[in-house]
Structure 1
Amino acid sequence: MQSAPGSDRDLIEAYISSSIRISFSRVLHYVEAKTDSSHEHVLACLAEETKKLLKTDSTIFMPIFSKWHQLAPVASASLLHKLYGNKLRPFLDHAEHLTEDVVSVFPEADSLERYIMTVISLACEEEIVKDNCLRKLISFEVEKKSGTLVLRWLNAKLGRILEWVERAIQQERFRATSKELESLTNLVRCMGECERYPEG
């Protein structure tokens, strides 16, 4: 495989950066228009479309650039990871509960990140280069956030169940007490009747 001089590699990376940014911007506009008339969350749809963009880029364009710049796919995938991450992060920061939006966005974002990592791994022939490239990615940490939200959801559900059980127990106690009071009232009434009609 040929390796272009440093200046040529810089030019290739600059072209990739410009091309990817333009393509991502177009995808974003397309997704925003699409989700206006559908029930899909924009970030879920954006993750799916970004993945398609990277697949096209990796199979059609990057093999050509890789002839002169071996890590061209890494530059492309890393930039898409950053661009999507910039859109995703505010959503992650404000996700406090396991809502329908969270359920739709998180799997798509995680799938995109895993695919990006696969593209980077395949482009790096040396293990040390791969590890270095992957470390530079600022992870979405969707799995970690998902675990937190699921635990919070389970705790909330458990709290409601405990409240329901407590109410049920109190109702049973109230019913038992009511029956005891009713029996006591009947007994007092009977005793009163007996006093009204003494023997003899």
Structure 2
Amino acid sequence: MSVLVINCNHWIGYHIVNTLLNHDYLVEGIESEIEHDDLSMFFGRNSSFSFYNKEEMKRYDTCICVGDYEHMETIHADRIIMINPQKSYRKLNPDSITTLLASHLFGEWMPMTEKGYYRNQEFIAFQSNEFIENAIYIEDFSERLIHCLQSGNLPSNIEVKSEHSNGKESKENGDSIYICSSLQLEQRMTALQKQYQLIKEKNK
């Protein structure tokens, strides 16, 4: 299956590309002009990854767009998955689009400090109830996204929630997906804080 990932150098896009490559997908990427291109350097040398060439006019099995992209009408894909878009894409065929609303993702390379992270300019503390009850580790989300790709029929809108959200157990309920954590939240948080300190020291 061929997959195009738009905004592949966004921290979420980076993790999605890595997960796709680990599952032996052929991946092409479009970089965001407002993000640093450092992350795309990590997978740029993988033989299963290449950067999008608009001159080739390829058709993809699936396009995954992280956030928004001004030129979506130029993309040819049998299925389009939009992750946390801010805009409406009325010109596109609604039957081919699935919107994933996953507002509580966290993971390596996200904008953060030692005490928390930023989500749409809002600071979320690691010790807050909002984080403890709703946070979804990005690699757990990316692995579940692979299952979505393998599914034949997806609803037009899916809300992605933590297994701890509202005290509900991990299950699918209508157009919502509840994601299990592969490690305890405290372990993820500690690993992130260590990485943050290493990067901070490196950049001094």
Structure 1 length-normalised TM: 0.22
As a proportion of its length, which structure holds more helix? Answer: 1
Structure 2 length-normalised TM: 0.22
Larger radius of gyration: 1
